[in-house]
Amino acid sequence: MKAYLYDNLPGDQRLPHDSGTALSASDLSAIGVLYYHIDSIEGVDALAAERGYKNRDEITVSPEKMGDAYETKVKMFFDEHLHEDEEIRYIRDGKGYFDVRDKGDRWVRIWLEKDDLIILPAGIYHRFTTDESNYVHAMRLFKDEPKWTPLNRSEDLDSNPHRKQYVSQFLA
């Protein structure tokens, strides 16, 4: 895992866009983003039991797996959005970037690789992209039924209870 402020410069979303300002795991936890490095499925099972993640599936994002849909999918993942549930991802292989908004509404880029696990809290604005390797294989965990509905950023969401809860807990 490597976290840093995004440079906001033009260029492919899959490039590093590293501004040079590094952030730590504790900077991430201050905005409710939890990072773990877990090198066994038993470790993931223990975390899942502790946090009540009852369901899981696996996804591979790559041109090999997705064919012509790949470029479209990668652009969709990169639209800024939030969810009304936590987003939990465990990287089994490959690499990818999760970008999350910080307290100043700046993008923080989090580079994840094999055995990295991230929990994004409900209500945080975020986006995802593969990196230049164009390959990630991840486990998606969830508490109940998978609810993937992305709610794209909009002022209408300022009154969403999950957004309000996130803002009052981490951004106030």
Residue 149's nearest CA partner among 160, 165, 136 is 160
**Token reading at 142:** 């969830």
Q: Are 128 and 150 in contact (CB under 8 A)?
A: no
Q: Are 152 and 80 in contact (CB under 8 A)?
A: yes
Residues in 15-74 at the binding interface with ligand KMT, rule: CB under 6 A: 59, 61
Residue 15's nearest CA partner among 89, 74, 103, 102 is 74
In whole angstroms, the minimum distance from the beta carbon of 135 to ligand KMT comes to 11
In whole angstroms, the minimum distance from the beta carbon of 38 to ligand KMT comes to 15
Q: Pick the piece of the chain touching ligand KMT (CB under 6 A) from 19-27, 34-42, 45-53, 135-143.
A: 135-143
Rg (CA), the chain: 15
Nearer to ligand KMT, 99 or 102 (CB): 99
Nearer to ligand KMT, 4 or 128 (CB): 128
Q: Pick the piece of the chain touching ligand KMT (CB under 6 A) from 1-9, 101-109, 132-140, 154-162.
A: 132-140
CA-to-CA distance for 86 and 162, rounded, in angstroms?
10
CA-to-CA distance for 133 and 26, rounded, in angstroms?
28
Q: Which of 4, 107, 125, 128 binds ligand KMT (CB under 6 A)?
A: 128
Residues annotated in the binding site, as ranges?
81, 83, 87, 126
Residue 98's nearest CA partner among 46, 136, 65 is 136
In whole angstroms, the minimum distance from the beta carbon of 157 to Ni ion comes to 13
Question: Residue 21's CB: how many other CB atoms inside 10 A?
Answer: 12
In whole angstroms, the minimum distance from the beta carbon of 81 to Ni ion comes to 6
The reply on whether position 89 binds ligand KMT by CB under 6 A is yes
The reply on whether position 109 binds ligand KMT by CB under 6 A is no
Give the residues lining the site for ligand KMT (CB under 6 A).
59, 61, 77, 87, 89, 96, 128, 136, 138, 140
